[in-house]
């Protein structure tokens, strides 16, 4: 790998959501009630590095903090702790033009193609507004600029006078992608960007993502709960469980031999076409509440191989083979 | 057709009479489900798969109604029953599981109240006995500490837990038929696997027939005995799950299977079906899929009939993929 700094690097990134006590609760505490502020550790000191041109899949079940992590990396949520580096420079320390460039370089594509487009704006202004504000185009050249961006995502330029409600789900997600592309980003955070689409449309949009990556040397952080899709598109995969990354590896290595027991369970559950008539062997239990996560390793109450140490000590994510990270005490035992 | 089937749907047509015109949401659908069998009803949004389910249960709202066809449940035609007779069957002999469990559960009532109500509406048992049945049903779907869960309200339960309660309610009167409309779509993979496991077990144990409506080919290939694929209100292909998945005959089924990422080589372009699902108000003449079909020819603009190419294997296509072409 070159000595160039990674395009995006997260170091010790954490996000805590605190539910503050309201007035009534404060009074109750004065009177001797034992109410305390509730804290959710949505993301718990995550390190993640993305090289230019790479696709990293971020996988986990609902409530594992994958979207929160994505939003922090996209710069939409301020982290409670930790830093995000853009090309080796701390993004929080940048100012002026440099800060603006760093913000424009990282764009986000949202899950819901219905809720993420302004229903009262025409496609032309949805896509053209940001480049205009950032002086990537002028008011006179804007229509031509929008035409070009629409063509890139496979939509006809005739659509630009229309409103979002006049489009199907697949077309809307293309508009969402076009909006992100319009400011010439280098890095896209795709948060469940294809989850709401039908299978045949999903395939079209996945192909579009792969074409765009090739054409513009884009880097993706691809957040999804669908392991099948992530396996197809990602070079590397990070698996999260209750706010922590439990395993990170190259896609082919991960699928060949998952190391962490949670990764093994998750991969075993991926329904696959062709694996006809199988008997489902589920992992026991459900994801515990992030308000009150289990002590030690968060996965220990559901883990088939749990032992004493798992209950007290949280395993650290460490390199178990080149390019391969896992957070499990079992790797120390041997 | 096998007369021993629990459910036989024959040439069902459910149309919606809207201002913009007649929407033929279900247009001549026929299939049968036997005791203990799981039938997968596969299609994308707008294919009419959910409306087929609603038609069977008599849950259609105007402007939709069943125009013609028969829905025979153990020999009785459901389409001809009165509301009263239908109500005595629904929740008793035929149950439905919805995508969103909160469509089944009442948010202001405790789980035990709702489950006991479901039992007492159809069985002559005491309240204590009903409560015991409710507890057993919860245990059957794998809910830990069922006694405690009975006293909870739906909002105190997680999504996976609620869906299990909804499934427990569907199974509580030991129905002969369950219609499940995308019951695991909103759930996480590990929870989905648990629910699929319970559903499989229950059908095997109780002999309940099940129609599992889904858009997810991966789930259905692992779960169902037979598969029916729908497109634009019609069945385009039907057969044993293994056959349909490994040797699709209709170009649409083939396209759908090609669109699923796991079947393709990693990092390569997915085979995609061009275009999008046509509006039901404005279907192409002849085969509704012809405008997106890679094999379309002049003969496709004629009305396509369903052909039985092998026993139990039906396809609605004049140019199907034949076995030798699907290497």
**How does pLDDT run along chain B (327 residues), one tens digit per residue?**
445 789 999 999 999 998 888 889 999 999 999 998 999 999 888 888 989 999 999 888 888 899 999 999 988 898 888 888 988 898 889 999 988 888 889 999 999 999 999 999 999 999 999 999 999 888 877 787 888 889 999 988 877 788 889 988 998 888 999 999 988 877 777 778 878 887 888 888 888 999 999 988 888 888 899 999 999 999 999 999 988 988 899 999 998 888 887 766 677 788 888 887 788 888 888 888 988 888 888 888 888 888 888 888 899 988 888 754 443
Nearest Cα residue to A261 out of A273, A249, A247 = A247
Q: How far is CA A92 from the centre of its chain?
A: 20
> Phi/psi of residue B90, each to 5°?
-70, 130
Chain A nearest-CA distance from B36, in A, is 14
Give the pLDDT confidence score for residue A281 in this predicted structure. Answer: 60
Mutation to test the A interface, candidates B193, B224, B232, most A Cβ within 10 Å: B193
% of chain A residues with pLDDT over 90: 36
Q: Between chains, do B197 and A279 touch, taking CB under 8 Å as contact?
A: yes
Q: How far is CA A68 from the centre of its chain?
A: 8
Tokens (6 digits) for A227 = 């392991």
Nearest CA in chain B to A213: B267
- Asked whether A277 and B242 are in contact (CB, 8 A), the reply is yes
- Nearest Cβ partner of A228 from B193, B255, B261? B261
Residues of A in contact with B270 (CB under 8 A): 203, 206-207, 232
Give the pLDDT confidence score for residue B2 in this predicted structure. Answer: 45
Mutation to test the B interface, candidates A63, A67, A159, A198, most B Cβ within 10 Å: A198
Cis peptide before B59 (omega within 30 of 0): no
Give the pLDDT confidence score for residue B282 in this predicted structure. Answer: 82
- Asked whether B65 and B42 are in contact (CB, 8 A), the reply is no
Nearest CA in chain A to B264: A232
Give the pLDDT confidence score for residue B109 in this predicted structure. Answer: 94
Please compute Rg for chain B using Cα positions.
Answer: 21
| Beta-sheet strand order (sheet of A106-109) | A106-109, A187-191, A219-224, A55-59, A236-241, A244-250, A324-326, A318-321
- Nearest Cβ partner of A276 from B158, B222, B271? B222
- Determine the Cα–Cα distance for residues B22 and B279; give it in Å rounded to an integer: 12
Q: Which helix (H) or strand (E) holds B169?
A: helix B159-171
Q: Helix or strand or coil: residue B273?
A: coil
Give the pLDDT confidence score for residue B190 in this predicted structure. Answer: 76
- Nearest Cβ partner of B276 from A170, A210, A279? A170
Q: How far is CA A306 from the centre of its chain?
A: 29
pLDDT band with cut points at 50, 70 and 90 for residue A56? very high
Chain A nearest-CA distance from B327, in A, is 15
Chain length of chain B? 327
Q: Between chains, do B267 and A232 touch, taking CB under 8 Å as contact?
A: yes
Residues of A in contact with B273 (CB under 8 A): 200, 203-204
Q: Between chains, do B194 and A280 touch, taking CB under 8 Å as contact?
A: yes
pLDDT tens-digit series, residues A81-101: 999 999 988 988 888 888 888
Residues of A in contact with B248 (CB under 8 A): none
Per-residue burial over A125-164, b = 16 or more CB atoms within 10 Å of its CB, e = otherwise: ebbbbbbbeeebbeeeebeebbbebbebbbbebebbeeeb
pLDDT tens-digit series, residues A165-205: 888 888 888 899 999 999 999 999 998 888 777 888 888 88
% of chain A residues with pLDDT over 70: 94
The yes-or-no verdict on residue A275 having pLDDT over 70 is: no
Q: Helix or strand or coil: residue A109?
A: strand
- pLDDT mean across residues, chain A: 87
- Determine the Cα–Cα distance for residues B166 and A171; give it in Å rounded to an integer: 35
**Other CB atoms within 10 A of residue B2 CB:** 8
- Nearest Cβ partner of B189 from A203, A269, A277? A269
Give the pLDDT confidence score for residue B272 in this predicted structure. Answer: 82
Q: Helix or strand or coil: residue A277?
A: coil
* B129-133 long-range Cβ contacts below 8 angstroms, 24+ apart: B133/B172
- Determine the Cα–Cα distance for residues A108 and A105; give it in Å rounded to an integer: 10
Chain A nearest-CA distance from B225, in A, is 7
The yes-or-no verdict on residue A237 having pLDDT over 90 is: yes
Interface of A with B (CB under 8 A): 61-62, 168-171, 198-204, 206-207, 210, 225, 227-229, 231-233, 251-252, 265-266, 269-283, 285-287
How many residue contacts between A and B have a Cβ separation below 8 Å?
Answer: 140
Residues of A in contact with B255 (CB under 8 A): 200
Q: Between chains, do A198 and B271 touch, taking CB under 8 Å as contact?
A: no
pLDDT band with cut points at 50, 70 and 90 for residue A277? low
Nearest CA in chain B to A154: B275
Q: How far is CA A123 from CA A126, A192, B187, in A?
A: 5, 22, 33
Chain B nearest-CA distance from A305, in A, is 17
- Nearest Cβ partner of A265 from B190, B217, B267? B190
Chain B nearest-CA distance from A209, in A, is 10
Q: Between chains, do A271 and B192 touch, taking CB under 8 Å as contact?
A: yes
Q: Between chains, do B193 and A203 touch, taking CB under 8 Å as contact?
A: no
Q: Which helix (H) or strand (E) holds B66?
A: strand B64-73
Residues of A in contact with B223 (CB under 8 A): 277
Q: Between chains, do A199 and B270 touch, taking CB under 8 Å as contact?
A: no
pLDDT band with cut points at 50, 70 and 90 for residue A278? low
ipTM higher than the 0.90 cut = no
> Which ranges of A136-188 would DSSP assign to H, the alpha helix?
142-152, 169-181
Q: Between chains, do B256 and A199 touch, taking CB under 8 Å as contact?
A: yes
Nearest Cα residue to A63 out of A221, A189, A242, A230 = A242
For A226-244, what is the mean pLDDT? Answer: 90
Mutation to test the A interface, candidates B261, B268, B292, most A Cβ within 10 Å: B261
Nearest CA in chain A to B42: A199
Give the pLDDT confidence score for residue A1 in this predicted structure. Answer: 46
- Asked whether A77 and A68 are in contact (CB, 8 A), the reply is yes
Tokens (6 digits) for A273 = 């076409």
Q: How far is CA A26 from CA A16, A39, A75, in A?
A: 21, 16, 33
What is the model's pTM? 0.81
The partner residues of B135 in beta bridges, in order of sequence, read none
Q: Between chains, do A199 and B194 touch, taking CB under 8 Å as contact?
A: no
């Amino acid at each position: 790998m070159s000595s160039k700094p990674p395009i995006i690097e997260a170091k010790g990134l954490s996000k805590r959501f605190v539910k503050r006590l309201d007035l009534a609760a404060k009074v109750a505490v004065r009177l001797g009630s034992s109410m305390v502020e509730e804290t959710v550790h949505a993301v718990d000191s995550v390190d993640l590095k993305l090289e230019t041109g790479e696709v990293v899949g971020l996988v986990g079940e609902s409530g594992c903090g994958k979207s929160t992590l994505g939003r922090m990396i996209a710069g939409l949520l301020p982290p409670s702790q930790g830093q995000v580096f853009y090309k080796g420079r701390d993004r929080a320390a940048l100012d002026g033009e440099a800060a603006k460039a760093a913000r424009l370089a990282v764009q986000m594509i949202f899950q819901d193609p219905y809720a993420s487009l302004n229903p009262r704006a025409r496609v032309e202004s949805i896509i053209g507004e940001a480049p205009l504000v950032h002086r990537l185009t002028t008011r006179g050249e804007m229509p031509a600029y929008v035409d070009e961006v629409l063509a890139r995502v496979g939509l006809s330029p005739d659509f630009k006078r229309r409103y979002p409600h006049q489009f199907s789900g697949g077309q809307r997600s293309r508009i969402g992608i076009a909006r992100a592309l319009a400011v010439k980003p280098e890095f896209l955070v795709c948060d469940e960007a294809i989850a709401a689409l039908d299978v045949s449309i999903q395939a079209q949009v996945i192909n579009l993502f792969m074409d765009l990556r090739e054409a513009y040397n884009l880097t993706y952080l691809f957040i999804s709960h669908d392991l099948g899709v992530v396996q197809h598109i990602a070079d590397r995969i990070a698996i999260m469980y209750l706010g922590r990354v439990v395993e990170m590896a190259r896609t082919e290595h991960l699928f060949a031999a998952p190391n962490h027991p949670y990764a093994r369970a998750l991969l075993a559950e991926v329904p696959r076409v062709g694996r006809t008539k199988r008997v489902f062997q589920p992992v026991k239990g459900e994801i515990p509440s992030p308000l009150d996560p289990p002590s030690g390793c968060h996965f220990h109450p559901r883990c088939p191989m749990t032992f004493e140490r798992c209950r007290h000590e949280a395993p650290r994510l460490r390199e178990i083979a080149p390019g391969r990270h896992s957070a499990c005490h079992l790797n120390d035992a041997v | 057709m096998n007369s021993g089937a629990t459910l036989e749907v024959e040439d069902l047509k459910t149309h919606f009479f809207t201002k913009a015109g007649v929407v033929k949401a279900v247009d001549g659908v026929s299939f049968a489900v036997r005791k203990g069998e799981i039938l997968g009803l596969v299609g994308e949004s707008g294919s009419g798969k959910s409306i087929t389910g609603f038609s069977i249960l008599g849950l259609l709202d105007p402007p939709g109604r069943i125009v013609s066809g028969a829905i025979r449940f153990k020999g009785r035609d459901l389409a001809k029953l009165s509301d009263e007779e239908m109500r005595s069957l629904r929740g008793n002999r035929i149950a439905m599981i919805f995508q969103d469990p909160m469509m089944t559960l009442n948010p202001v009532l405790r789980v035990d109240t709702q489950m006991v109500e479901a039992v007492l509406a159809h069985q002559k048992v005491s309240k204590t006995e009903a409560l015991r049945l409710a507890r057993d049903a919860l245990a059957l779907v794998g809910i830990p500490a069922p006694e405690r869960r009975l006293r909870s309200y739906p909002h105190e339960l997680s999504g996976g837990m609620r869906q299990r309660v909804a499934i427990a309610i569907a199974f509580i009167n030991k129905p002969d038929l369950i219609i499940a409309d995308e019951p695991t779509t909103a759930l996480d993979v590990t929870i989905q696997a648990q629910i699929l496991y319970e559903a499989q077990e229950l059908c095997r144990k109780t002999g309940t027939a099940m129609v599992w409506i889904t858009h997810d080919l991966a789930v259905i290939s692992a779960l169902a005995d037979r598969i029916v694929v729908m497109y634009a209100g019609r069945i385009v292909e039907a057969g044993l799950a293994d056959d349909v998945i490994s040797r699709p005959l209709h170009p649409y089924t083939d396209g759908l299977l090609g669109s699923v990422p796991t079947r393709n080589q990693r990092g390569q372009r997915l085979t995609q079906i061009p275009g999008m699902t046509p509006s039901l108000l404005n279907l192409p003449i002849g085969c509704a899929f012809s405008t997106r079909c890679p094999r379309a020819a002049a003969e496709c603009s004629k009305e396509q009939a369903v052909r039985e190419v092998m026993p139990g294997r039906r396809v609605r296509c004049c140019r199907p993929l034949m076995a030798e072409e699907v290497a």
